[in-house]
């Protein structure tokens, strides 16, 4: 649905007067907005903007396209509504989630399906950054992901779900009684710094002034914990909800704090404010909140 996403950006540019202003409304960089508009022009085989000045403005073709783009976007949103009525727990809905949430989310959706047989839920797993882009572009109705550093744009709604403390995890046989000692004495198994969780881990290490012996970097929390079980090294990851690491005799969970306060990763639901499935996504969010709070 890249064309729908591009048309949303096109309308935002028309309404806000520039690529820079539109970028903040559609949760993109100015360069990404410019690239999308070039792609839209190539697809429609016509130029839509007068770029002769410092600010790109709609030309005659762009002004002619604008009402058609708005009608098409309105029709697309109407198509996404349940045929049996806007309040019915029925129809198709697409929901994304990061790996650590997907298991619980699948359980919630299966339970809802048993009660609402006409509900058709498609689940998509991806990284938080990818999920946020898919929600913004209308490819997903909602997504459960890691909270980002920046505030969501005006077209998006963020609802926190739960917090997970960041902890150091060491094997029973590793050196060090505290997180600081364990990180200084053992090889460090790092979570992928290109992902939001990896950024949070790096920020936590800096805030707590913790030294590490860099050894390996992976993009799987479970794989990192398994390497700790095998006494390869020590890691810093969120203490996942519904994980049973505290009961694992091969592991030690070591608190991680900065200035006496625990550092956390927040999981929540991101959705567009104007999507037509709010009653369904809210039911899913509420059921997930109940499940993960147990």
- Give pLDDT, residue 87: 54
For residue 252, the SS3 value is: strand
- Give pLDDT, residue 8: 87
- Give pLDDT, residue 80: 62
Could you give the angle at the alpha carbon of 279 between the alpha carbons of 87 and 242, nearest 5°? 145
**What are the structure tokens assigned to 65, written together?**
């396209």
Q: What is the pLDDT of residues 83-118, one digit of tens each?
A: 555 456 777 889 999 999 999 999 999 999 998 888
- Give pLDDT, residue 1: 56
* Per-residue 3-state assignment (H helix, E strand, C coil) for 35-67: HHHHHHHHHHCCCCEECCCCCCEECHHHHHHHH
CA separation for the pair 193, 31 (Å, rounded): 23
163-265 to CATH, choices 3.40.190.290, 3.40.50.1980, 3.50.50.60, 1.10.3720.10: 3.40.190.290
Beta bridge partners of 96: 124, 143
Cβ 236 vs Cβ 197: under 8 Å: no
- Give pLDDT, residue 284: 95
Which residues of the chain form CATH 1.10.10.10?
A: 2-79
pLDDT beneath 50: ranges in the chain: 86
Segment holding 236, helix H or strand E = strand 234-238
- Give pLDDT, residue 50: 86
The dihedral of CA 86, 88, 89, 93: what is its sign?
A: negative
In this structure, which topology does domain 91-161+266-293 adopt according to CATH? D-Maltodextrin-Binding Protein; domain 2 (3.40.190)
In this structure, which topology does domain 2-79 adopt according to CATH? Arc Repressor Mutant, subunit A (1.10.10)
Q: What is the pLDDT of residues 205-240, one digit of tens each?
A: 999 999 999 999 999 999 999 999 999 999 999 999
């Amino acid at each position: 649905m890249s064309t729908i996403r591009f048309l949303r950006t096109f309308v935002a540019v028309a309404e806000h007067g520039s690529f820079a202003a539109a970028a903040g409304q559609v949760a993109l960089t100015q360069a990404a907005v410019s690239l999308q508009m070039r792609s839209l022009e190539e697809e429609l085989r016509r130029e839509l903007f007068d770029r002769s000045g410092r600010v790109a403005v709609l030309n005659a073709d762009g002004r002619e396209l604008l009402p058609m783009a708005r009608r098409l976007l309105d029709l697309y949103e109407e198509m996404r509504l349940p045929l049996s009525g806007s309040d019915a727990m029925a129809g198709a809905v697409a929901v994304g989630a990061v790996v650590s949430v997907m298991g619980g989310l699948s359980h919630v959706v299966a339970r809802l399906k048993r009660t609402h047989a006409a509900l058709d839920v498609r689940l998509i797993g991806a990284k938080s950054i990818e999920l946020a882009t898919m929600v913004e572009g209308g490819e997903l109705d909602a997504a459960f992901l890691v909270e980002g550093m920046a505030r969501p744009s005006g077209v998006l709604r963020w609802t926190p779900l739960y917090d997970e403390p960041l902890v150091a995890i060491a094997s029973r046989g590793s050196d060090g009684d505290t997180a600081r000692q364990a990180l200084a004495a053992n090889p460090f198994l790092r979570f992928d710094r290109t992902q939001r969780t990896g950024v949070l881990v790096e920020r936590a290490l800096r805030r707590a002034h913790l030294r590490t012996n860099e050894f390996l970097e992976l993009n799987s929390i479970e794989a990192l914990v398994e390497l700790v079980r095998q006494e390869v090294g020590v890691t810093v990851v969120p203490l996942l909800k519904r994980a049973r690491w505290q009961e694992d005799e091969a592991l030690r969970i070591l608190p991680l704090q900065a200035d006496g306060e625990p550092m956390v990763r927040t999981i929540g639901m991101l959705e567009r404010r104007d999507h037509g499935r709010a009653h369904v996504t809210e039911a899913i969010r509420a059921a997930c909140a109940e499940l993960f709070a147990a």
